[in-house]
Chain A
Amino acid sequence: MIPDLNQQGAAQTKEWEPEVTAPAILLENVSKSYGRIFALSNITLALNGGVTGVLGMNGAGKSTLFNLLMGKLKVSQGSIKLFGTDPWKNPAPYARVGFVPEHEKMYDWMTGHGFVSTFARLNGLTRNEANIEANRVLEFVGLADVAHKKIGQYSKGMRQRAKIAHALVNDPELIILDEPLQGCDPLARTTIMNVIRELGRMGRTVLVSSHILQEIERITEQIVILHQGRLLALGNLHSIRERLDQIPHRISIQAENPKELAKDVIDIDEVFGISFPDGENISIQTHNLGAIHSQLPRIIVDNNHKVSTIDNPDDDLASILGYLTSGGRV
């Protein structure tokens, strides 16, 4: 095996300029295989700006995708470019990238401030700059009060936020977060989601994966769905759902008198099925969700129905993943 002598070593960020027209992330026909097993297969994707959620079951290839982007794995086929440069051959684009890995041993012996400032210096900041910027990002993630405590004493949520802080210290334009909410308490989740939303609002390109689908929904509607190493869907969550129009949508209504409500609802042309899962709920099936929602309020008000909740159980990510990965079977 010949040593990889192609690595340019030209990581000087003062010398390296990104291609202006290139997207932050560009994958062209990317595959990654381990022997005969493909972890990723023929992925073509470009992302630039905003928050994008990466979804998929365990083993779908999310972490492999992130590891390829971060130059931790080498692509088997195809090419990956960050800001127009292949990061495996030249790590200079990482000056504009922040990465929060899913799990790694943290430097428990360091304080939060020491950890962030050390990695700021690895980005090329001077000691003073690193201290100032470490304070900036620690305040942003809400760790300013405990910045001088050792990471070993941090809770899981605080450690996650410390990782986010270390990823933000170089003010990156592309932030990649692999399962940032994993193991966090609700408070930490909320704070981290606020951080991610704020970064997206600022026009940064944020790529975030999570198994907690509801929380991805709260962060972003723009999603990439991977399944068994293949790109299954990409785009707005609700648009994807609407394109699955051969699959009936369900509307679940909790009402005081569901049978009376059913009598009124059945008159809507777009309704093709009604069922009663229990004594309090009515489940309406339709191919045209919008038409039902436009008429439902009037029916409820005109007929004086008492309704406590109206829900679209098929419109969440778990359902969409289920539909897509089961080949469209409900």
Chain B
Amino acid sequence: MNFPEASPSTPVTVNPIAPQPAEYAAGTPVTGKVRLEAAWGSTEGDEDLSITTPTAQKADGQIFKQQYKQWNGELNPRWMRNWAILRHHLLGVFKKGHRPWGMAIRLYLLVIFIASMSDVGMTLLSGIIGDSGLHSVWGVNRDNLYGHVLGFFPRNMLYYPVVAALLVGGVISEDRQHGTSALYFSRPITRLDYVGMKFISVAVIQGLLILVTLALFYFAEIATMGRGWAWIIDTLPMFLATVFSAILLIFTYTSIGLSLSSVSKGKFFPGIALLSIILGTKVLAFIASNLFDREILYLISPYDCLAHVGQAIIGTQPTYDQYSWTWSLASLVAMNALALYVLSTRVSSMEVTRE
């Protein structure tokens, strides 16, 4: 062979091709056959071969004339690109044309939003009809604030874990399955930004359900019961402690869920695995506690640890009072660290086309 072999050490720079010095049109397909036919004619009536101009002829079967107009703008900074990812995910919950959350998911979110406001409704009702008995059951107090965020049934059994499972189900795994993450990575977007915005979007949707309804609950009490500054100052610390507990819960469910999403290709596995981790470990700890009278196994349950920390900072009666709540906090930190490690490792090393 006499053609040049690529030297491993010497890069070969290929410059734009100079136009061929030919008698025929430069835009004509260049093959030996065409070159000869253009030069001498093929006696098939194409002696006057001319450029095939890509201009429009008819509406049906149009070949457009391409005239590329340059864009002379300047690309904006990182936060604008990140905002584009975030709004793409968030707006998809509310309207078409953005990331499509399934109708079933959107309906479930609506149902959970309404259901999460059951205490808001009952507080408003008790204020309107002036029933102090009803208010004592449903109004704002430590137990009810705790219950709004960390109560097991129904909120941490049927509401929040299921919402988290539905949200994380497809948020990364679908990108992996369909290769659409390639579209993101072909932009000047770092993988940290990509996963960070996905994390925030899932957390924000959960925040709408948990934190917004918590705030509505608190303000419903102020509005309907005519609470003054003294009451607000008195209850604000436990309200803020509840807010902190809610943020911890959202963060934990999201980080575990997304780490599961990053290691799977479908919606089902991350969703069902998240529910298994949250509810399964709780059941396991419960069984071990009853069979062996050992409660320490609660430390493997994210929900039990969240509840324990929440009980401690909100100031309600702790379930596992024989152990310090700092064990639960340490367990939560370890769980989140492990989940974030898996997530960052998976996303930073994600080779998109092999998914």
Interface centre among A92, A200, A306 (most CB of B within 10 A): A92
Nearest A-chain residue to B196, judged by Cβ: A9
Within 8 A of A (CB), among B1-54: 1-17, 20, 27, 29-33, 35-37, 39-40, 42-44, 54
A197 within 8 A of B: yes
- Given A142-B62, A297-B40, A308-B43, is A123 in contact with B77 using a C-beta cutoff of 8 Å? no
User: Is A118 part of the contact surface with B, judged by Cβ < 8 Å?
Assistant: yes
Q: Please tell me if the beta carbons of B11 and A44 are within 8 angstroms of each other in the complex.
A: yes
Instruction: Check B80 against A171 for contact (C-beta < 8 Å).
Output: no
Does B345 belong to the interface (CB within 8 Å)? yes
Closest beta carbon of chain B to A281's beta carbon, Å: 13
Q: List 29 A-B contacts (CB under 8 A).
A: A3-B349, A4-B348, A7-B192, A9-B193, A11-B188, A67-B353, A70-B182, A90-B190, A94-B189, A95-B75, A97-B186, A101-B179, A104-B183, A109-B100, A110-B97, A124-B80, A124-B84, A124-B188, A141-B66, A142-B62, A171-B70, A198-B66, A218-B29, A221-B30, A234-B6, A297-B40, A300-B40, A310-B37, A315-B33
Residues of B within 8 A of A123 (CB): 75, 81, 187-188
Q: Mark B57-88, 1 if CB is under 8 A from A, else 0.
A: 00001111111111111111110110011001
Establish whether residues A124 and B75, one from each chain, have CB atoms under 8 Å apart when the complex forms.
Answer: yes
| Interface pairs A-B: 9 shortest CB-CB | A312-B32, A50-B16, A315-B32, A142-B64, A105-B178, A121-B84, A171-B71, A4-B348, A46-B11
Chain B residues contacting A167 (CB-CB under 8 Å) are 186
Asked if A311 contacts B32 (CB within 8 A), the reply is yes
Contact across chains for B178 and A198 when beta carbons are under 8 A apart? no
CB distance from B329 to the nearest CB of A (A): 24
User: A7-B191, A26-B11, A121-B84 are known contacts; what are 19 more A-B pairs with Cβ within 8 Å?
Assistant: A11-B188, A11-B189, A42-B8, A43-B6, A72-B182, A94-B189, A97-B186, A99-B182, A104-B183, A109-B100, A110-B97, A123-B188, A124-B81, A124-B188, A126-B80, A191-B54, A308-B42, A310-B33, A312-B32
B30 with A91: CB separation less than 8 A: no
Q: How many residues of B contact A (CB 8 A)?
A: 84
Which residues of A line the B interface, CB within 8 A?
Answer: 1-5, 7-9, 11-15, 23, 26-29, 42-52, 63, 67, 70-74, 90-95, 97-99, 101, 103-105, 107, 109-111, 114, 118-119, 121-126, 129, 133, 136, 140-142, 166-168, 170-171, 187, 190-191, 194-195, 197-200, 202-203, 214, 217-218, 220-222, 231, 233-236, 238, 240, 243-246, 289, 293, 297, 300, 306-316, 324, 328
Q: Which of B17, B69, B76, B187 contacts A222 (CB 8 A)?
A: B17
CB distance from B209 to the nearest CB of A (A): 24
Specify which chain B residues have a CB less than 8 angstroms from the CB of A29 in the assembled complex: 8-9
By the criterion CB–CB under 8 Å, are B188 and A13 in contact? Answer: yes
Q: Are A136 and B69 CB-contacts (below 8 A) given A72-B185, A122-B184? A: yes
Residues 140 to 196 of chain B near chain A (Cβ within 8 Å) = 178-180, 182-193
Contact of B180 among A51, A70, A107, A300 (CB under 8 A): A107
CA A73 – CA B352 in complex, angstroms?
7
Q: In the complex, A310 Cα to B5 Cα: how many Å? A: 32
- Which single member of B31, B100, B193 contacts A11 (CB below 8 Å)? B193
- A48–B14 touching, CB < 8 Å: yes
The CA of A238 and the CA of B30, in the complex, are separated in Å by 10
Least Cβ distance of A51 to chain B in Å? 8
With contacts A121-B81, A243-B2 taken as known, whether A104 is within 8 angstroms of B71 at the C-beta atoms is no
Q: A91: which B residues are within 8 A, CB to CB?
A: 185, 187-190
Known contacts: A73-B353, A246-B2, A308-B44. The answer to whether A126 contacts B76 by CB under 8 A is: yes
Q: What residues of A have a CB within 8 angstroms of the CB of B348 in the complex?
A: 3-5, 7
Give A42 Cβ to nearest chain B Cβ, in Å. 5
- Determine whether the beta carbon of A44 is less than 8 Å from that of B10: yes
B65 surroundings in chain A (CB, below 8 A): 194
Interface residue from A74, A133, A190, A315 paired with B63 (Cβ < 8 Å): A190
Report B235-249 CB contacts with A as 1/0, cut-off 8 Å.
000000000000000
User: Shortest CB–CB separation between residue B200 and chain A, in angstroms?
Assistant: 16
Residue of B nearest to A27 (CB): B11
User: Which residues does chain A contribute within 8 Å of B13, judged by CB atoms?
Assistant: 23, 46-48
Q: Is B323 part of the binding interface, using a Cβ–Cβ cutoff of 8 Å?
A: no
Whether the Cβ atoms of A315 and B31 lie closer than 8 Å is: yes
- CB atoms of A67 and B33 under 8 A apart: no
